[in-house]
Chain A
Amino acid sequence: MKQWSLAFDNIKNLFRKNKLIFMLFFIGMTVCIICFIYFYGNTMSYKVNEAKNLDLLRTYRITFSPAEQTDHHMPAFLDGEPVEDIILQSEIPFQKIQYQEMNSIFKEMYQNGAVPFCASVKNRTTLYAEQGRVTFHPDELENASPVLIVPYLFLSRHSISNQDHPLLIDGTRFRMIGACTLNTFYIPVNTFFKMGLSSTGMKVVFKNILSVQQEQAFYRKINARFPSAKITGPEPFKEFQKENAPTELFMVGIVYVMALISFMFLMKYMIDENRRELVIYSIAGASQRQISRQLILQITLLSVLASIAAIALYVCFYNLLFSKINITENITYNWRDYGIILIFSVLLADLTAYPFLLSCRAKSIVQLKNKCE
């Protein structure tokens, strides 16, 4: 406590002796921390992905084992939930598909002996076109038309010969309307029900990222409805983000440290000007280590104050200024983020200041005294 009190007194002393330099240092440090906050929000992928409302963070995959018999009542258990889309998944064995080039194309693409088919219940899933049309017309959806969107890989391996190549599934002739970038066949949902396909899985995409409580409630609902189903949420992606976070934080830290070094000369100047104090500490019996610790405490205190000022400014002017210059829209900071920023800005400030403080120490009391005189 004595050390902290002394450090605080020293800061007051630094301010009294060199008001201008002190203010420049403090403002500079605050600006650097504001930059740190900005770069943290705009470069850390977990913040950016959250702001983008990335579908990987709001998609839940449910695997049924054994496959569930599906009709149009089946997705109704999710009525009332803020669901953007439900994608039913099924697999059709090779035997049920008649296609001249089946052996050479399907077997290479799908090695488990079945072809994956999907249907979007709310028709809100965006498919990216490689060729042709990748959306169904309303009448195709309504009338359960035998149309399908194929994977581009399938189309690109399509045999080019002078023969007709109809694609028959369970005896029904399907018409290909386009090719998408995915590796799955897409059919209208009513066609899916009409064919009486069993669902091997279901993909639920929510409108927004779920909170922990909402996620648990959803899991309970799924477990109650499908006791044997296996649910995979966005956890693997979140883990991946977590793995990347230290590297990203390190990069943001480097920018902060580089900016901060420019202002550490001011701190060194102030300490140099205040060298008499250090001589007095040495005469009073303080070791070099204690003096260093004292100087580090001063930096810590100053960086804490600057961090608080920076966070306060950032929060106050967020809507007015900082949100408008964000690279990704809708970036939000919570208190956990500000906590991380506070801890890292203080630690990095100490780390940056350390070489400067070392040069402020002299080897002996005589050297210090001579330097002062």
Chain B
Amino acid sequence: MKHLKFIFSLYSKNWLSAILLIFVTSVSLFTLTNAIGKYQFYHYSLDLFSSTKLNDHDVYFMPFVSEDQRKDPESNYLSMEQATSNAVQQIKNTAGVEAVIQSPFLISGEYKGNSLLMAIYDRELNEKFSLPLETGTWFRNTAKTKNAEAIAGGYSFQNVQVGSAIHVEYKKGNGITKEIDLKIVGKLKDPSAFPNFSLSGTTIFADDIWKWQDVLILNQKNLPDDVGKDAQVSGSNFFISIRSQANYDAAVRSIEQFGTVKPYRKILSDSSINAENKIRQNLPIPLFFLFISSMTQLSVSVLFVNKKIPEFGIYYLYGCTKFRYFCSLMICITALALVSVLINFVMVVECPALLHYGILNLGHVVFDCRQIFSFVLPYEIISLLCSILFCFSIFRKKTPIELYRRLES
């Protein structure tokens, strides 16, 4: 009890500096967590891309739809979709091309008031783009059933268990709302993503080929026939699987007549460089904040010790040892640091919900409790240790009689 009273007396006399220390440290730790979260996002998208069954002789294909491509042999103009479809058909017939993988067809739906997308996986996507699961298994059943199999991903399905049946509403093209019962066979790892090949450009990164949204992945094979009819094409680009390395050069030359090609290996290496660049861009500001926060912690600790040190003379007369007095002081400082870590922990736990409901917008970021244990806690321990050692070096030089005299003067 007397320890608690001592601690509270210290806080009550220095409440403003204590609050400021907590504020500065919490902000600094959150900027660090955010920067690491951004880096983790780029790394996660890269890992996700590497985990696909694409290989070195697969390429990302962005079709040209210019004047030449939009004419058929009879010199008629075609719609862009028709022109793309013609180009894809010709690529499929090219020697060495194994498969053309297109983005999943999408249906907008709603589950318990949360909007989501249903992505329909065809055979090619199933083969190449099976995603890492948190729990459950990838599609097994290929027969058409009443409760089609689905793999859920995202915050909306946080409380949905594998094996449970869910009821999803979706709108048909004519505006009529339809319902579908689905059986959850697996859950995607967070953050949930599904392939979407819509981005064109000179540089394609791994994070560009995913759509980061709550999703239900459905298997085209066991989906009722009428569901697929309401799906929309989601991306205008493709992945092309080439049969072997031997066919690679000739096949790529043929494909390049219809558009731009980006090899799988090139996307991987560019994404890796991009992830490193992102950390280079995002880390300096948190580092500055952390340095200031460490300096603040040191200053506040020294201030606490300096303000309380003269009182030690009196405590000593009542039998308090130097060690116990110092420990009590350090408990006060440690408690402040722990409060900051705790605030950060709550932020990390609650952020996915805030991001999901749009209350907070931090861009693409992955929050993970491991960040607290791998970065935040070690930093805080080192910073705290420095402050304690510094304070100890001040405290140990003073004898109780010196301190008593200082108090008297």
Contact = CB atoms under 8 A, between A and B. Distances in A.
Nearest to A35: B288
Contacts of A176: 66-67
Contact of B77 (A32, A133, A165): A165
Contact of A132 (B64, B78, B292): B64
A163 B306 contact: no
Contacts of B307: 269
Contact of B288 (A21, A38, A258, A265): A38
B296 A262 contact: yes
Contacts of B299: 24-25, 28, 262-263, 265-266
A159 B80 CA distance: 11
Interface string A307-322: 0000000000000000
A56 interface: no
Given A35-B288, A265-B17, A258 B300 contact: no
A246 to B, nearest CB: 21
Contacts of A179: 66
Contacts of A32: 292
Interface string A167-179: 0000000011111
A161 interface: yes
Nearest to B287: A325
A76 interface: no
A304 B67 CA distance: 66
For the side of the interface on A, what is the size category? 35 or more
A265 B303 contact: yes
Interface in A212-265: 258-259, 261-263, 265
Nearest to A176: B67
A129 B27 CA distance: 41
A13 interface: no
A42 B282 CA distance: 12
A294 interface: no
A259 B75 CA distance: 69
Contact of A27 (B69, B76, B288, B295): B295
Contacts of A258: 24, 27
B79 A31 contact: no
For the side of the interface on B, what is the size category? 35 or more
A74 interface: no
A132 B69 CA distance: 9
B65 interface: yes
B21 interface: yes
A132 B66 contact: yes
Contacts of A175: 67-68
A28 B296 contact: yes
B314 interface: no
A261 to B, nearest CB: 6
B24 A262 contact: yes
B64 A164 contact: no
A12 to B, nearest CB: 20
Nearest to A126: B202
A240 B66 CA distance: 38
B252 interface: no
A160 interface: yes
Contact of A263 (B14, B68, B296): B296
B119 interface: no
A176 B284 CA distance: 47
Contacts of B66: 131-133, 176-179
A159 B79 CA distance: 9
B20 A261 contact: yes
Contacts of A20: 302, 306, 394
A290 interface: no
A290 B279 CA distance: 51
B337 to A, nearest CB: 14
A111 interface: no
B272 interface: no
A131 B284 contact: no
B200 A21 contact: no
B65 A132 contact: yes
B300 A265 contact: yes
Contacts of A165: 77
B61 to A, nearest CB: 14
A179 B20 CA distance: 56
Contact of B292 (A42, A160, A259, A327): A259
B302 A164 contact: no
Given A31-B295, A263-B295, A325-B284, A21 B20 contact: no
Given A24-B298, A175-B67, A263-B295, A162 B76 contact: yes
A327 B281 contact: yes
A263 B295 CA distance: 9
A367 interface: no
Interface in A142-184: 158-165, 175-179
Contacts of B357: none
A326 interface: yes
Contacts of A261: 20
B315 interface: no
Given A28-B299, A162-B77, A258-B24, A326 B284 contact: yes
Nearest to A29: B295
Residue among B14, B296, B307 with the most chain A CB within 10 A? B296
Contacts of A35: 288, 292
Interface string A259-280: 1011101100100000000000
B8 interface: no
A372 to B, nearest CB: 12
A21 B67 contact: no
Contacts of A38: 284, 288
Given A28-B299, A164-B77, A327-B284, A262 B64 contact: no
Interface in A178-202: 178-179
A31 B297 CA distance: 14
B375 interface: no
Residue among B65, B75, B307 with the most chain A CB within 10 A? B65
Contact of A262 (B20, B65, B67): B20
A262 B292 contact: yes
Interface string A14-35: 0000101100110110011001
Given A24-B298, A177-B67, A259-B24, A269 B303 contact: yes
Interface in B180-202: 200
B6 interface: no
B295 A160 contact: no
Contacts of B306: 18, 20-21, 269
Given A28-B295, A160-B77, A262-B300, 11 more contacts: A21-B302, A21-B303, A31-B291, A32-B292, A158-B77, A176-B67, A178-B64, A262-B24, A265-B17, A265-B303, A266-B303
Nearest 7 pairs of A and B residues by beta carbon: A132-B66, A262-B296, A176-B67, A325-B284, A265-B17, A259-B292, A132-B64
6 contacts: A35-B288, A131-B65, A131-B66, A177-B67, A265-B299, A269-B307
